Amino acid sequence: MTIQKLPTILINQIAAGEVVDRPASIVKELVENSLDAGCTHIDVLLEHGGRDLIRVSDNGSGIAPDEIELAVTSHATSKIQEEADLSAIASLGFRGEALASIGSVSHLVLKSRQSNDASGMQIEVDGGLMSETKPVAASVGTTVEVRRLFFNTPARRKFLKSDGAETTRVRDVIQKLASSYHDVTFVLTSNDRVLLDYPKTTSKERILSIVGTELDGEMLEIEGKADGITLWGLVGTPSVARPTSKHIRVHVNGRSISDSSITHALKEAFRGLIEPKRWPTAALFVEMDPSLVDVNVHPQKSEVRFRNKDVVWRLVNKTVASVLSENDFVPAYQPSVHGLSNQDGGSFTGSQAAFGVTGTPSFERVHSIRNAPVIDFPMETPLPTILGSDAVLQVHKCFLVTQDEQGILIIDQHALHERVMFEELMQRLSKGNLESQRLLVPDAIVADSAQLEALETNGNLLEKLGIEASASGPASISVYALPTLLVSRNVNGATFIRELLDALGSNEFSSSEEEALSEIVDMMSCKAAIKAGDQLTPRELSDLLKKRREIERGGSCPHGRPTTMRLSLAELEQRFGRR
């Protein structure tokens, strides 16, 4: 073949391949244009997942009548003019190719009016062919309609998923943009149903409405500054850590991006507070002079390159770590000069508490034990009870102390209970499905595309676990029944299902069903088990020890942490000089 220059239509179609691969990426480009035009209201409408119609309307600045043709021409933009502008981009768009690319693979209608014009102007692009412009009646702002998407690129059309899946992706895109632009109203409608409606509000309220208002009490506000870079955001406490990193939202100068360095800085700040396999929940907003960050490094503009990556890393890490330490999640024993009698002097946080377990061993307890009168009993004080040989003592609401023939046993209550439940559940599973309990009112939970997909493909597994749930919309799931064990232990069903689907969706579990089941049961046991800080009744104590003797199989919980330690008589005798 000879070398030839490609025709413009083909060039635009090739560019479209990088920029617009599905309805969600088209919506992203169009909404970004609306935001760049300084609007306060954006309406997005879909028909059949965007296959038949995508319409984005805004009340922004509009386009001058004599520029409307340029708007749909490739490499034509109002956002940059010369080379220097490229190194300090303050707008979301800058390449001038979105409208041209979209118009090359669909039938696009662009209608726009500026506030000082009496009427609007319209242009159509059909598979890359531009119509004449013509005046139309229009309100101030811009509307773009995209129909017959990919009609001339059938291969691309084939890659589209179900309408529901495409709709969910659009929803994810709008949520990402809406996180940064809290003072803009966003409405998403699909087949006449309103899926999202975010009125103008404060930053914090906007984020909570996106991540889930149920997390309100669990999100800590962070704020920091370094070398002209500012950071603001909400970070979830260790107890709302998730099995995947996708609940980490990062925004730089209003742009939603993914950035492995920022994610790493955040995760490092949680070191020791969450299990290594889990990820924090967070929405972070980094603002800096546009010249300090290169946004022209990714076709869909979803990554950036920082001039000074280290400063950003440290800012995120230090800001998050200091907020976490203020909130006392840090698992450190700090000896104080005044010793244990100083109530403010030190914090005593067990490693159990480090892993999102509520409650820490109480300081007052330590205090009162230390000061218990040992020799000098006042007459009215009752004499301490002499305990029998199978007595058990709960220490600091965290450990159990008892004895066996060989010495003193020290048991971690959470680890043991987790182990007991794991064994019981595995045994039940070997005989059939887990016992399940119907909910009086189905639990409706918000779900994203990956979670819905995981629900669809794991029906078998979920049934075995006693979970009954089904999609109840393009972005929600109804839960009808949950494993009895979780219900009876007051585990939050919505959180559990979401985490389970996240983990299933990101292939966290083994591919063999057998192994996957045991991994899930492991996760369930951990959630349902009593925690450090739970006060146990004598009945619960003796039940737990009885079960320990039944399972008997040794001293470690499913995670591999020990459940029990023994201080042998031989050791004690030696230490006390008896031998």
| Contacting positions for ligand ADP (CB under 6 A) | 29, 33-34, 37, 58, 60-63, 71, 77-79, 93-100, 142
| Residue 94 or 313 having the CB closest to Mg ion | 94
At closest approach, how far in Å is the CB of 59 from ligand ADP?
Answer: 10
From 129, 60, 122, 126, select the one nearest 93 (Cα to Cα): 60
Q: Are strands 185-190 and 41-47 parallel, antiparallel or unpaired?
A: parallel
95 binds, among Mg ion, ligand ADP, none (CB under 5 to 8 A by kind): ligand ADP
At closest approach, how far in Å is the CB of 110 from ligand ADP?
Answer: 8
- Phi and psi at residue 343, in whole multiples of 5°? -65, -25
From 339, 396, 329, 336, select the one nearest 362 (Cα to Cα): 396
| Residue 93 or 236 having the CB closest to Mg ion | 93
At closest approach, how far in Å is the CB of 61 from ligand ADP?
Answer: 6
d(C-alpha 394, C-alpha 404), whole Å: 16
- Nearest residue to ligand ADP by CB is 93
Instruction: Name 532's Cβ contacts closer than 8 Å, sequence gap at least 6.
Output: 350, 352, 353, 357, 359, 360, 361, 397, 398, 412, 413, 414
DSSP per-residue codes, 28-80? HHHHHHHHHTT-SEEEEEEEGGGTSEEEEEE-S----GGGHHHHTSTT--SS-
d(C-alpha 119, C-alpha 121), whole Å: 7
| Residue 62 or 533 having the CB closest to ligand ADP | 62
**Cβ pair 536, 526 in contact under 8 A:** no
Tokens of 386: 């002499």
The helix (H) or strand (E) run that includes residue 26 is: helix 23-36
78 binds, among ligand ADP, Mg ion, none (CB under 5 to 8 A by kind): ligand ADP
Residues 22-51 touching Mg ion, rule: CB under 5 A, are 33
| Residue 33 or 142 having the CB closest to Mg ion | 33
Residues touching Mg ion, count (CB under 5 A) = 3
Among the candidate windows 86-94, 285-293, 428-436, 454-462, which touches Mg ion by CB under 5 A?
86-94
| Residue 50 or 164 having the CB closest to ligand ADP | 50
At closest approach, how far in Å is the CB of 417 from Mg ion?
Answer: 56
Among the candidate windows 92-100, 265-273, 350-358, 529-537, which touches Mg ion by CB under 5 A?
92-100
144 binds Mg ion (CB under 5 A): no
Instruction: Name 510's Cβ contacts closer than 8 Å, sequence gap at least 6.
Output: 516, 519
| Residue 112 or 518 having the CB closest to ligand ADP | 112
| Residue 97 or 166 having the CB closest to ligand ADP | 97
Give the number of other Cβ atoms within 10 Å of residue 1's Cβ.
3
124 binds, among Mg ion, ligand ADP, none (CB under 5 to 8 A by kind): none
At closest approach, how far in Å is the CB of 505 from ligand ADP?
Answer: 32
17 binds, among ligand ADP, Mg ion, none (CB under 5 to 8 A by kind): none
412 binds, among ligand ADP, Mg ion, none (CB under 5 to 8 A by kind): none
- Nearest residue to Mg ion by CB is 93
Give the number of other Cβ atoms within 10 Å of residue 260's Cβ.
10
Selected from 16, 35, 98, 123, the binder of Mg ion by CB under 5 A is 98
Give the number of other Cβ atoms within 10 Å of residue 408's Cβ.
15
| Residue 293 or 479 having the CB closest to ligand ADP | 293
With H, G, I as helix, E, B as strand and everything else as coil, classify residue 123.
strand
Contact set with Mg ion (CB under 5 A): 33, 93, 98
